Every structure is written in C-alpha cells, then in structure tokens.
Structure 1
C-alpha cells in the first residue's frame, strides 16, 4: 500500500544507521519521486532540541498508523 501526504506513520528503520528514530511517530509532509533513495519526508511529533524536525525516510522504514485504525 502506498503512503501518502498527511498519513500518520511510525518509524521502524531497517538499517542501524537510522535506528535513533525507531518508534518515533510523525506525519508525512512530502512525497518525492520514486527514484529517490528516501522519498518520504516526515514531520516528527516529538521536537528534537526544541525544533520541529523533518526527515526523509524510505518506504520500508515507515509503518502506517492510519491503516490500523
């Protein structure tokens, strides 16, 4: 199932390099072209260092929360 803008997701990274984001939740704010490594931009719910953060992830790193409700 394709993820889309506005969808609520939980981050479950497959790679250890992004494991610091494991379990964080956020909202997809942008979806880039499929040819990008990390086409999904996610705005995290939790502020990091007092700032709202946007990070890009691969589809396999994200689990939709909306689909389960």
Structure 2
C-alpha cells in the first residue's frame, strides 16, 4: 500500500498582512452654506480653531467647488 503525502494547506501571502478596514475619520466640522465656511458644532468658524488646524492640517471641503461657477 502506497501512502500519499499531502502538502499543508496555506493561505495566500497577502492575508498575512491584511488588516480590517477602518472607518474613515469624521471631520469635527461641517460646511455652512449660509456663511460659506466650515463651522464647528458650537457654530464658530473652524479656521479660527488653532488646535483643529494643528491636528488636521486643513479645514477644506468639497463644497466650494459646487458653489463657485466662475472657476471654469
């Protein structure tokens, strides 16, 4: 009787480095159409908040591209 050897099952190489998908960070500000600036939850301008600027490096949003028709 001949015994057949079976190779051990292995996972694809990339699975050893895969990490669970993380949620996208949520900005602590939102765009106010009336003022046309990003504002914090308390209503103050996000651009005036130095700790926020230091932590996020920017307060830009995509809303400006939708409001300025003269950029063509």
TM-score (normalizing by structure 1): 0.22
Identify the structure with the greater helix proportion: 2
Identify the structure with the greater strand proportion: 1
Q: Which has the higher contact order (CA 8 A, sep 6+)?
A: 1
TM-score (normalizing by structure 2): 0.22
Larger Rg: 2
